Structure 1
Amino acid sequence: MTTNRNPKRPSGGKTSGKADKKRGGRKRGRHWFGWFLATGCLAVVCAVVGYLLIVLNGERILAANQKAFEFAETTIIYDKDGREAAALATVENREYVKFGDIPELVYRAFVAVEDRRFYEHEGVDFWAIGRAIVKDIMARSMVEGGSTITQQLAKNMFLSHEKTFFRKASEASIAVALEKNLSKDEILELYLNRIYFGRGAHGILAASKLYFGKDDLNKLEIWEIATLAGIPKAPNVYNPISNHERSQERMAVVLSLMEQQGLITAEQVEEAKKKAAAYEPPEDAYAGAASQKYPAFVDFVATEAERVTGLTEEELRVGGYRIYTTLNVNAQQIVEKAFADPDNFEESADDRIVQGAMVIIDHRTGEIEAMAGGREYQNKGLNRAVQPRQPGSAFKPIAVYGPALESGDWYPWSKLQDEKKCYGDYCPTNPGGKYAGSITMRQALKESRNASTVWLLNEIGVDRGLEFAKRLGIELDADDRNLAIALGGLTRGVTPMEMATAYSVFASGGVSVDPHAIVRIEDRKGKVIYQYKAPEAKRLIKPETAWYMTEMLQAVLEKGGTGTKARINRPVAGKTGTTEHGIPGFKSSANRDVWFVGYTPEWTAAVWMGYDRTDEQHVLKRGSSMAAALFAKVMGEALKDVPASSFTKPEGVKTVVKPPTVGGFSVTWSDADLGVRLSWSRQGEGLLYRVYRKAENEDEFELLTVTESTTALDLAVEPGVTYEYYVTVYDREHALEGDKSTIRGVTVPDSIWPDPELPSDFPDGDFDGNDGGIWPFPGEPDDSGIPGDGEDGGQDDGQDGGSGTIPDGGWNSGGSNGSRNGELPGNSESGNGGAGQPAGPGNGETEEGEAEEPAPVDGAPAP
């Protein structure tokens, strides 16, 4: 029998194994606890040593830099040929204010938005740093700063703004040292006097005077305080002069933070927003801005440099960088000369001038050649080239005609309905209330017809228009999902830069264009810190779409189109745009914005004109022809040294044959008709013929009439004058015009009228139509050929002011009501002139300010 020698130990293998494991677990637990304790002690020692090193390092930097600051060196801008063109301004606008003179709400606002735990930390906010580290790890880059106000002051005084872990450590060292040597009030005083507020203003007092004209901070209102507190995050973006809209957005964020921290009430927030919306810069707001060459272009370059390098505006100004750009000095000087000439702009009733902007892009490379930010533009001013405005009809190719062509179901010769029609509560109308019934797409765009444009967008769908605009770089607001976008009625509007970029896609044959102003940037040691690399070109639209659009936009510059003023001595395609004033209760045909956006085979340009603030006293009386004329003046001269080329037609494009050239054309004087008789051979069925005429004292041929017949009779001639004529064939189905015929001339005999001294023949003794005078021969109708002067109801040249001079070949040129038995229309700029009786409407001004083509004679339908 076996005896258990250890009565304390239970018998059985299992029980014994459990006890062994328990003892082993206790040993391992003591082992890990020891390691944990040792590691914790080591971490504490390292933390203490690290903290001491941080403090000592900060104290060392402070001691070594009490009066030493990084030497400021001017940054130079170079043009596209590598020549020095301009310099970023280095003049500082700084005024010091003592902490006791800074209202509590002012410095509390900065604390609320920049460092809400400012009074709780000792220079470094570890909670904020932890949050920043997490965000940096998630983004795999240094995206979150986590800096306190004290750290920002340290960075501003002693360090670069480069985001690296080493720089952040030094920044923390200095911040801790600053907190040990200065009070919180002293730190805030230094901070508020050193931070940069944009446009050369350093410190809160300089910014208050610059943006609000107030040299006493106690007079600042809540919205002004919030605006100032929002600027330092991005001075070039959030200051109210350079970008009022973005400034208001940032101010709203600051107001919200101030409300959350109990500094202001919800009612004060709403009141502040209302006041900010009506902001006007002080009269001398631009006086402090340092002048420089090509300021708008240089400002745009500075903004682009901030974006591509991550440097601040202040670092760029004093960092001694060399920025090589795409600036075309010749084009820039031409643009600035044109914007300095008041003759190119409508005259204002007071000191608030009509403003404008222009952008020129080489769409073959994406290089921005030149830019105008406004008239009398000064450094860091409001760059209107990047400010949104309503585009009017210039948006039609982007939202309607482009997407229709892209669908493959529509072509330039496709027929559209041009009728007055409502779509729910939206009832678009054509200028002058005239409708064609049916019209080709090409003609509708050429004449800028509203009704047919909206009809087409309704056919293709608004979503298709929005998607096409997005492809061209314009992402519209969610509230823009409606038919009003067809006529450029947008929530936010678009900038001249965006419009130029969008049209560049048409010009480039449908591939993407990347507008840029910077080629490369070097630091003061010559090291390249940025090099532009063009993104891979993407096909955004079909080449056929781009070609058809170019053909249609070229027609806009032809006779009868709205953009004839934009013609230069090389191919141009483009579109005008006009927006109504939109002032409630103000009855006027005046405009708010006028545009011309166009391109040659080489360059694309956008021109905008209007007032910065539109009211009843500040509206445009002239139309988009003003913008078109400026486009022609600038582009015609700027392109002189650029080799001319042609728009390239892609393969496989469906085409329509141009109408044939008229043959058998003859011009003779007819004694029997007392007029010039023209005749030609018929070229086919369903075609119209356009007859053009030029007198010997006129510079250009003008359209005389449109007819289905192969003959025409010109009765509006003067004795002894030589006239020249030619005829073209017009295909109204496809809105195409053939080449002109041979030019033929004839001289009218010196004596073709009866003797005006015969009172028995003329009741009032002359031919002027006074007192109802008519052509005297019995049985002759009133259209016998003798014009009256339109006074007192003369029947030949129209009532109410007919001129009798017949400058356009019509009988009632200038008459606002006249008719000549319906044969030829009037030429009233108001659009209600010469109501022909059966021939149709007169030659009224269209929406874009250009005359439509006269109605035809002999009752032929208008093209």
Structure 2
Amino acid sequence: MADGPRSTRNKKVEKKSKKTNKKRKWAVWLFFTGAVAIVCGIIGYLLIILNGERILAENQDKFILPESSTIYDAKGKEVTKLSSAGGNRETVEFDDIPLLMREAVIATEDRRFEEHSGIDLYSIGRAVVKDIVARSAVEGGSTITQQLAKNLFLTQDKTFFRKATEASIAIALEHKKTKDEIITMYLNRIYFGKGAYGIKEAASFYFDTELKDLKLWQMATLAAIPKAPGNYNPINNPINSQERRSVVLQLMFDQGYITQAEMDEAKAVEYKRPENQTNTADDSNLTFIDYVVDEAVEKSGLTEEELRVGGYKIYTTLNTQAQSVMAREFEDDDNFEKSVDDKQVQGAMIIVDHRNGEIQGMVGGRDYVNKGTNRVVERRQPGSAFKPITVYGPAVESGDWYPWSILQDVKTCYGSYCPTDSNKVKYIGPVPMRQSLKESRNASAVWLLNEIGVKTGLKFADKMGFELDSSRDRNLAIGLGGLTNGVTPFEMARAYSAFANEGKSVDPHALIKITDKNEEVLYQYDAPQPEQLMSPETAYYMTDMMQAVTEKGGTGTAARIDRPVAGKTGTTQHGIPGLKTGYNRDAWFAGYTAEWTAVVWMGYDITDKNHMIKKSSAQSAAMFGKVMKDAIKGVKKGSFAKPSDVQEEKPPVGITNFNAIYDEAAAFVKLSWSPVEGEGVQYHVYRKEASEKDFTKLLDSLEPAVDDMTVAPGMSYTYYVTAYDANKDMEGTPSDQLTVEIPEAEITPPPTEEPGGEVPPGDGNETPPGDEEPGDGTTPPGDGNNGGETPGNGGETPGNGGETPGNGGQPTDPGSGNGNNPGNGTGDSGNTPGGDGSVPADGQPDPGAGNSNGNGATNSPPPTTP
């Protein structure tokens, strides 16, 4: 017992000792962890510093402007001189920049400019939060030093690695340069729109004044521009400019740079364009210049910097007239929908001379800046503009289908994929291919793709230069432009050029030749041998059908100009999950004259619930028409080439005066129409019962009148007729569709039982032999009411008494004796189309293969061939 208390005390001391040791271990672990973290942080910081220092050391030449290379247009006239940053520029020293001008820029772009060391952690944190919320890189968070780093060394792309490099260069710049030097370099190089680079050039261009003479409202106007030069410059958008100027002034007031009175006075001034404003500052060619520089780098093997400052002469295909017209129309706000905020509806356009592949002009966006996003080479969903690529083109090329071939525009599901017409009048049944394309009908386009097979559509698209996803795009949705990765306006221009060029491939290019200072040729364009991508007959038929798109009743009438135009519209739905609205994501028009091919795209860079286009592709077609009308002036007018052996036979004319009347006494439908002139003309009669999806051919006739004896009581039938030329094997345009309702049969009740007599056994309508007497309410035998009805062709014809057919009930498939029930063709799931025949940009259809006709009769009349 004596050892008990001592043993307990020992255990307590031992337990306390273990706790102390555990705390010490945690403290040691935390110390070393913290030390490692600090060391890693220091190493990381040093790596960032060293990376920035390395980039600066390797690119010292970017701080100077050496001899510029020169770009020439297609006529050999000088367009511009290149430099490491491009554009027109006059440099200015720090002391020549008004203090208030510097403060306006700092207040707007980087309020902690004087405090940070190149990066602003607060701004970065705010940007990261906004990017996470938006699930994309939408917020810059860049300091003035970072913007200078990007302007000097980097591209406009928003990626993590680009931002990390930008930050390292910014820190290095802060070590190498003073704040005064950094703000001076920034203001000398920043883009102010309309081709003006640097604050001195901007002051001269917008206000026709010296930098030192700028007023407060003018300084605020200039400080407002760099965020979105195309949207905030006072020439293109005076209202937006004034609103943004007010924001700048408010920031200056909030940060103590100006007084309330100065702010109010500067806000109230209205901008007036100087009378003697020069046009030397011109950014209309920027997209083309950037594109041709990229092409020259690829072809010459020089770096971009070597090419820009090496004194080279770069000869291009630029048509300055066409480029000027494009720039003018893209600057006109009335050609675009109005946005709810400063995010503009964007656009892109490219023009190619498909006779030689020379790019005439290119616009990459409404606010395109040097080295900005060129939307001509950005991927978007093409919608119905892709139908000629995956449906109509390959169908005609197969030799089994022609512009006059009859398609079926009916509501049909292919598995879980159910395409819908977006036309005012939906699902019109039989429709010639020409009309299907003209009116951009979705149901008939997918029906045709199902007939020719998805594999055929993909193969044709591949020949036309589109690299589709071989597994995820193997479905019927490609018929309406529902693609995994989308296509670019450049690719669409190349493909449509082949339709215009008699089916031969076209190589769009902007570069002709590069020479050095000594006139030695560094590069010379050598056109590749063209390939025959489709037969000349297919190209002709496609052109003929796409000309109808611009005619009355077509979807692209706004694209018409004073010479023949062929083309196709395309619209895609917004594709935002859970949002029910008819607004759209992309609007296209791809078209061509006999000389040039042009493609227009419109839409927001990022589509969300506040940024969708409310109109369809008609606005893109209108842009095509406005630009091409003036751009092509002076180019000799041509005509679309017609192959010498193209079949010119036309199908029989359409049926007129079609009538369908039910003869109740005879219990059949009388069909009649006006005869069609011509030798060997026959008539095909088609019928569809109300519960059936497709029409089936009921019968052929040599006469312009037939009787349908196979109708059943209580049913509804729809008919149409076509003329058929047996000599040419060509079917004419379908007649109007007429529907006939067959009344229910009337059952005669049994006679009333009289005293002294009884009703004979039977069904109440039969009279025992020998008892017939006139006037007793019975019907004499032999009139079809004594169980002796004559069965019809798949459905019995009731007798004159109007009773239920003698087989005890209605036929399960009335009137289908000449064929089995149409099968439900299986296909592939995909996006439900919208707009003028489009598909949502996101959401991929289930993979699979179409081209299944079911297990019964053909869904429609077979294709006819001349």
TM-score (norm 2): 0.49
Larger RCO: 1 or 2 (CA < 8 Å, sep 6+): 2
